[in-house]
């Protein structure tokens, strides 16, 4: 499984061709904190909606700590996605290491 740490992702988001951020948490979690520009598809909806995701652009999947997103990355990889990465430590790591103003829960 490919993963990316928050510092690498922060740099990647500044590049000309940033990845699509896929948030697989629940609506209530997204309402507390999310990364700007991210697409919310809760983990339970991924099997029904994965075909709507682009295959021609890198995806970085994230959740709270990286466990659910790791499962989604495995699912997407198993369904032919080749440019999919798990955000190590999830949005919590982003809050701690990149943006301390982002609420933690």
Q: What is the pLDDT along the chain (105 residues), one digit of tens a residue?
A: 899 999 999 999 999 999 999 999 999 999 999 999 999 999 999 999 999 999 999 999 999 999 999 999 999 999 999 999 999 999 999 999 999 999 999
63 in active site: yes
Is residue 45 in a domain? yes
Contact 90, 66 (CB under 8 A): yes
pLDDT at 68: 98
Tokens 């740099």 label which residue? Answer: 11
- Does any domain span residue 104? no
Please identify which of the residues 41, 63, 70, 72 carries the catalytic annotation: 63
Total domains in the chain come to 1
Distance CA 72, CA 88 (A): 13
Question: CATH number, domain at 58?
Answer: 3.40.250.10
Domain that residue 75 falls in: 3-97
pLDDT value for 1? 83
Q: Whole-prediction pTM value?
A: 0.96
Exposure pattern of 61-93 as b/e (b: 16+ CB <10 Å)? Answer: bbbbebebbbbbbebbeeeebebbbbbbbbbbb
């Amino acid at each position: 499984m490919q993963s990316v740490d928050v510092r690498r992702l922060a740099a990647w988001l500044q590049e000309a061709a940033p990845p699509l951020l896929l948030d697989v948490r629940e609506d209530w979690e997204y309402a507390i904190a999310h990364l700007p520009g991210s697409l919310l598809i809760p983990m339970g909806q991924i099997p029904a909606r994965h075909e709507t995701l682009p295959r021609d652009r890198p995806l970085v999947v994230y959740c709270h700590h990286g466990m659910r997103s790791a499962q989604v990355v495995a699912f997407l990889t198993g369904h032919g996605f080749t440019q999919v990465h798990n955000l190590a430590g999830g949005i919590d790591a982003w809050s701690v290491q990149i943006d301390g103003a982002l609420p933690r829960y």
